[in-house]
Amino acid sequence: MENIRFALLCAVGVICFFLYQAWQTDYAPTQAEATADSADATAGDYRQDDDVPDLASAPDAGDEAGTSDGDRGAASDDASAPGQVVGDAMAQGQRVHVVTDKFDLVIDTRGGDLRQVQLRGVPVSSDRPDTNLRLINDSLPNFFIAQSGLVGDSADAPDHNTTYRSEKNEYKLADGEDTLRVPLTWTNDTGHEVTKVYTFHRDSYRIGLSHEVRNRSGEPWTLSQYVRFWRTPHEITGDVPFAQAFFGVGWYERKDEGSYSYRNESHGELAENPVQLTQEGGWIAMIQHYFIGAAIPPPDAKARFFARPKDVSGAQGGFASGFIGTKESIAADASAEFETTLFVGPKLQDQLDAVAPGLGLTVDYGWLTVLAKPIFWVLEHLHALVGNWGVAIILLTFLIKLCFYKLSETQFRAMARMRKFAPRMQQLKEQYGDDRQKLQSKMMELYKKEGFNPLAGCWPMLVQMPVFISLYWVLRESVELRHAPFMLWIQDLSAPDPYYILPVVFGVTMFLQQRLTTNVTMDPMQQRIMQIMPVGLAVFFAFFPAGLVLYWCTNNLLSIGQQWYIYRKLDAEGLGHKAANS
Q: Render pLDDT for 462-504 as a digit per residue (tens, 0 to 9).
A: 777 788 788 878 878 888 888 888 888 998 888 888 899 999 9
Phi, psi of 568 (to 5 degrees): -65, -40
Where along the chain do the CATH 2.70.98.90 domains lie? 54-60+91-364
pLDDT at residue 116 is higher than 90: yes
Among 238-242, 249-253, 415-419, 450-454, which is the least confidently predicted range?
238-242
Which pLDDT belongs to residue 293? 95
Which pLDDT belongs to residue 416? 65
Selected from 2.60.40.1120, 2.70.98.90, 2.40.50.140, 2.60.40.4070, the CATH number assigned to the domain covering 54-60+91-364 reads 2.70.98.90
Which pLDDT belongs to residue 418? 67
**Does this model's pTM top 0.85?**
no
Among 31-45, 328-342, 430-444, 526-540, which is the least confidently predicted range?
31-45
3-state helix/strand/coil string of 325-385: EECEEECCCEEEEEEEEEEEEECCHHHHHHHCCCHHHHCCCHHHHHHHHHHHHHHHHHHHH
Q: Is residue 293 within 8 Å of residue 133, measured between CB atoms?
A: no
Instruction: Please tell me what DSSP assigns to residue 36.
Output: P
Find the farthest-apart pair of alpha carbons in the chain and give their distance in angstroms, rounded: 105
The residue among 296, 274, 308 whose CA lies nearest residue 359 is 296
At 292-304, the pLDDT tens digits run: 999 999 988 899 9
CA distance 97 to 245: 32
pLDDT at residue 398 is higher than 60: yes
Which pLDDT belongs to residue 186? 94
Q: Is residue 237 within 8 Å of residue 291, measured between CB atoms?
A: yes
Which pLDDT belongs to residue 350? 87
Helix 459-477, helix 405-432: angle, nearest 10: 130
